[in-house]
Structures are given as C-alpha cells and as structure tokens.
Structure 1
Amino acid sequence: MFELIIRRCLVVIPTLFLVSVIVFGMQKLLPGDPILALAGEDRDPQTIAYLQEKYRLNDPVITQYVSWLGRIMTGDFGVSIRTEKPVLELILQKLPVTLQLAAFAMIVALLIGVPAGIISAVRKGTLTDYSINIAALSGLSIPNFWLGILLILFVSVQWQLLPSSGYTSPFENLGQNIRTMIMPAFVLGTGLAGVLMRHTRSAMLGVLRSDYVRTARAKGLNEKTVILRHALRNALVPIITLTTLLFGELLAGAVLTEQIFTIPGFGKLIVDAVFTRDYAVVQGVVLCTAVGFILMNLLADILYIIVNPRLRDAT
C-alpha cells in the first residue's frame, strides 16, 4: 500500500509542472497590456521602458518562465500591479474565506445528498424514489447565479431573514459570519447534493443486492441495522473519494456565487484581477486553485486505498 501511495505522489510532480506551464502560457494569451495601463494616459515611452525592465518583460518567454517558476518555488508569487501588495499575501487573505465557504457548502451537500440517496435506494421504484430523483435533477439543473438571486430576493429583501451580501470574519462576529454564509453555502451545496444523491443511490443499490446483506437479513437483523451498519459502510467507499473531488471543484468553481453575494474570496479576487489586467494575481490564484484540485485528487486516491481493503491487499 505504501508503495502505491508513493507512486501516486510521484505522478503529481509532472502534473504540477504541466499546470505551471499552462498557467504561465495562458497569461501571455490574455488580451490587453498591464504595462500600458500602469503607464497612464500619456504612455510616456521612457515610463513604458522602465516598467518593462522592472517586470522583466523584455526577457525571452522561456527566461521569464524559468524566473517565475523559481520565484514560485520559494513562495514568491510576485507583486500585484494594482495594489502593490505581494500576491501571496492577497492569497493568504482570501483563501480562508473560500475554504470556509467550500466547507459549509460541502456540509450542506452531505446532509442533503447522502440521506436522500439512502432513502431513494431503499425505496426504489416508489413515489419517494421518483420525487428524490426529480429534486436531485433540479438541483443539478438550476444555475447557481439564478438560485442565488432568488434567495436574495425572497430571503433577504422580502422576508429579511438573512443578509443579502457581505462577509464578516468569524473572529469578529461568529454569529454574523454564519448568517452571511448560509445562503451562498446553500446555493453551492444544492448542486453538489444532487451529485452525491445520485452516487449514493447507485452505490447503495449495488450493495443492497450483495450476498452479505441478504445474509444479514436472513439472520433476522433489524432493517435499520442492515442498512446503516452493513450496507452504508461499504457504499460510502466511493462517496468518500467523490467528496474530496467535489471539495476541490468548490475551491475553483465558486466564482459566480462569491460575486453574487459579495464574498471576498478567491472568486472575487480573480475577477477583479482579470478586469484590471493584474496578471500576477491571476497567475497566483489560478495556480493555487489548480494545485488545490490536484492535491484533493491525490487525497481521494489515498483515501480510496485506505478504505478499500481489496485494493490495499492487491498492492
């Protein structure tokens, strides 16, 4: 098992290198020139030449990439052209916000998706099963931005139950922090709940047809015990790995939700950076989200090896 985990970790290295090449290369393809924006309306040639020299834009692309990669390896993500702050400092400010939102959304997805999948599998072919499947498909089909706008309209504007936007640090006011996170977490979590429900239902249906479940029922065990202790324990093996992958997607895919609810996380940071052509920030945020997603994939592989005895014994 240890050797297989090491092999999985080694695969991450070339993947990270490829990601760094793509992130750096895509930045070169983005329209606009941040140097012209920094030079002001006059665009004095001496100022432009100074800025190009300062940010080493006159060097060959390969040289720029090697220099950029070397700085990244030491934790230097560059400096924001717009705010003159280190990119790493901006990332460390916004990352906890996105992580909290992703964690809340994952909790919502698990609380809704897993129980719904279990009930749907146990009551296969009934009205309950069909209703849960329709609800899951609705959660997958409804766009996040539309659901977010509806929640703001009804929950915040008409009913005045929760704040419509903004963010409060949990260290300043924990209650207000939770109130501001409920709606965006629900918006993100409902879509993921549909995915988890479908996978949980499929896994449970496969397990409920297995021999050991039939044996447990033949022994006269309580149906609740059969489902929760025997069936669910084995059905959760793929769900654990799926959860880690979905969490990785949340880190990279909460852009629209953060914009709608004005949450100062990664999504808002990268949108503002793109509009202001702050390419150092764009590179840093995209690279961090890509690395996070890759690491979550690695964690999913490791968890699958740990919780699946058959795969562990095969190695």
Structure 2
Amino acid sequence: MLAFIVRRLLVALPTLLIVSILVFLLQKLLPGDPVLALAGEERDPATIAFLREQYHLNDPWVMQYWYWISGIVQGDFGASLRTNQPVAQLIAQKLPVTIQLAIMSMIFALAIGIPAGILAAVRKNTWIDWLANIVALSGLSIPNFWLGIMLILFVSVRLGWLPASGYEPFFSDPARSIQTMLMPSFVLGTGLAATLMRHTRSAMLGVLSQDYIRTARAKGLSPREVVMSHSFRNALLPVITLTALLFGELLAGAVLTEQIFTIPGFGKLIVDSVFNRDYAVVQGVVLCTAVGFLAMNLIADVLYMLMNPRLRSTL
C-alpha cells in the first residue's frame, strides 16, 4: 500500500507542475494592470517603474514564473498586491472556513443522497423511485443562488430561526458557527445529494442484478442483510470516487453561495482577488485548490484498495 501511495504522489508532481504553469499563464490574460491600481490616482511614472521592478513585472514571463514557483517550493506564496499581506497567511485564514463549509455540505449530501439512492434502487419503478428521481432532478435544476435567497427570506427574515449571513469561527463559538453555516451547507448539499442519489441508484441497480445477490436471497438472508451487507458494499466503490471529487470541488470554494451568505471562504477570496487584479492571491488559491483535488483523488484510490480485496492483490 505504501508503494502504491508513493507512486501516486510521483504521478501527482508533474500534474501540479502543469497546473502551476497554466495558472500562471492564464492570470496574464486577466484585463487591467495591477501596478496602475497600486500607483494611485496620480500614477507617478517613478512609482510605476519602482513597482514593476519590485514585483519583477519587467522580466520575461519565464523568469517571473521561476521567481514565483521557487518561492512556493520554499513555502512563500508571495504577498497580496493590494494589502501586502502574505498570501500564505490569507489562505490559512480562509481555508478553515471553506473546509467547514465543505464538511457540513457533504454531511447533508451523504445523509440525503445515499439513502435515497438505495431506496430508489430497491423499490425500482415504484412511487418511491419516481419521487426520488423527481427530487434529484429538482436538486440539480434549482440554482444555488435562488435557493439561498429563498431560504434567507423564509428561514431568516420571516421565521427568524437562523442568521441570514455572516460567519463565526468554529472554535470561538461552535453553536453560533454551526448556525451560520446551516443554510449555505444545505444549499450546497442538496445539489450534491441529487448527484449522489443518481449514481448510488445506478450502482445499486447494477449490483442487485448480479448472480451472487440472487444466491444470497436463495439462502434465506433477510432483505436488509442482502441490501446492506452484500449489495451496498460493492455499489459503494464508484460512490467513493464521486464523493471525493465533489468534496474537492467544494474545497475550490462555492463562489455564489459564499457571496450570498457573506462567508469569507475561498470562493469569496478568489472573486475579490480577480476584481482587484490581485494576481498573487489568485495564483495561490487556485494552486491550493489543485492540491486539494489531487489529495482527494489519492484518498479515493486508497479507499478503493481498502474496500476491494481484488485490487489489493494487484499491488
């Protein structure tokens, strides 16, 4: 298993290198010049020349990339062009917020999507199956920003049950933090639950038609034991991969949801940075997101090995 993890990490390194090059080059396509914004309204030529020299903007892009990537290898992501705050410090402040939102959203998604998918597969072509599919299609079709606004109007404004926006750090006030995160987590979780439900249903239908399931039923095992002990365990493999990818997507930041509920996570940070032409922050956040995706893929592969003995025998 250790050798497998090492091989996967070695494969991830070239991927990260390619992603870093793409991130660096694509941010050059963003409109505007950050130096002009930093120079102020007067835009003194001497100040502009000094800023370009300070941030190596007069150098060829290959040298600019080298300065940036060599700093990242040493743990230095650069500094924000707007606030001069270290990018690593900004990421450290926003990452816990995004992780909390991602975890709570996945809890909603798993709690809704997997049971609904199992029920829909076991009760195929019944009213339960049709209802689950209708709910899943609704979850995929309803935009997150609309659902978020409706929840704010109904739950916060009319009923006053939960705060409409804002964020409280978890370790300073856990109860308040969970309250502020419930609605945005539900908004994101319902969309993910719809995707999980569809994949769980398809995987379960494929497993339930296998010969060994018919054999288990012929032996007199209870329906619950057949479904949970024999069917769901084998149907779980593709669901694990999907869950890991969805969690990685959440780590990228839910831009619209974070904007609506004023959550200071990765999504809001990257939007503000793009508008402010803060290239160093954009590059740092996107690169951290890529690392998160690769990490979740690695976790999914390891779980695959643990869940499927046949794959372990190939190591």
Name the counterpart of 1:168.
168
Which residue identity does 2:287 align to in structure 1?
A: L
Residues 163-172 or 112-121, more deviating: 163-172
Structure 1 residues 177-192: aligned runs within 5 Å: 177-192=177-192
Change in Cα spacing, 1:314 to 1:25, as seen in structure 2 (3 Å) is: same
Deviation at 1:300, TM superposition (A): 1.8
Residues 267-276 or 118-127, more deviating: 267-276
Return 5+ residue gaps in structure 2 as ranges: none
Name the counterpart of 1:116.
116
Residues 109-118 or 243-252, more deviating: 243-252
Structure 1 residues 214-225: aligned runs within 5 Å: 214-225=214-225
Secondary structure of 1:29 counterpart: coil
Aligned residues: 315
Name the counterpart of 1:269.
269
For 1:2 and 1:94, the matched residues in 2 are separated by 32
Which residue identity does 2:139 align to in structure 1?
A: G
Name the counterpart of 1:133.
133
Name the counterpart of 2:242.
242
CA contact (8 A) 1:104 1:185 kept: yes
For 2:252 and 2:133, the matched residues in 1 are separated by 27
For 1:217 and 1:267, the matched residues in 2 are separated by 49
Name the counterpart of 2:92.
92
CA contact (8 A) 2:76 2:88 kept: yes
For 1:75 and 1:292, the matched residues in 2 are separated by 16
For 2:177 and 2:171, the matched residues in 1 are separated by 9
Q: Deviations over 1:239-291 (max 9, x none)?
A: 12221111001111411111110001111111111111111111111111122
Return 5+ residue gaps in structure 1 as ranges: none
Identity %: 68
Deviation at 1:4, TM superposition (A): 4.1
CA contact (8 A) 2:253 2:265 kept: no
Which residue identity does 2:128 align to in structure 1?
A: T
For 1:170 and 1:9, the matched residues in 2 are separated by 32
Name the counterpart of 1:56.
56
Change in Cα spacing, 1:4 to 1:174, as seen in structure 2 (3 Å) is: closer
For 2:140 and 2:281, the matched residues in 1 are separated by 31
> Are 2:80 and 1:80 equivalent residues in the alignment?
yes
Deviation at 1:226, TM superposition (A): 1.3
Secondary structure of 2:28 counterpart: helix
Which residue identity does 1:173 align to in structure 2?
A: D
Name the counterpart of 1:46.
46
CA contact (8 A) 1:8 1:301 kept: no
Name the counterpart of 1:102.
102
Name the counterpart of 2:194.
194
Q: Deviations over 1:171-208 (max 9, x none)?
A: 22111111111100000000110111011111111111
Secondary structure of 1:199 counterpart: helix
Alpha-carbon RMSD: 1.2
CA contact (8 A) 2:19 2:287 kept: yes
> Are 2:39 and 1:8 equivalent residues in the alignment?
no
Q: Deviations over 1:54-93 (max 9, x none)?
A: 1111111111101110001111011112111101000000
For 2:298 and 2:24, the matched residues in 1 are separated by 23
Which residue identity does 2:23 align to in structure 1?
A: V
> Are 2:286 and 1:286 equivalent residues in the alignment?
yes
Name the counterpart of 1:295.
295
Secondary structure of 2:252 counterpart: helix
Which residue identity does 1:265 align to in structure 2?
A: G
For 1:225 and 1:4, the matched residues in 2 are separated by 33
Which residue identity does 1:59 align to in structure 2?
A: D
TM-score, with normalisation over the residues of structure 2?
0.97
For 1:3 and 1:94, the matched residues in 2 are separated by 34
Which residue identity does 1:19 align to in structure 2?
A: V
Q: Deviations over 1:76-124 (max 9, x none)?
A: 0111121111010000000000000000000000000000000000100
For 2:270 and 2:205, the matched residues in 1 are separated by 42
CA contact (8 A) 2:156 2:163 kept: yes
Deviation at 1:310, TM superposition (A): 2.1
Which residue identity does 1:116 align to in structure 2?
A: A
Name the counterpart of 1:26.
26
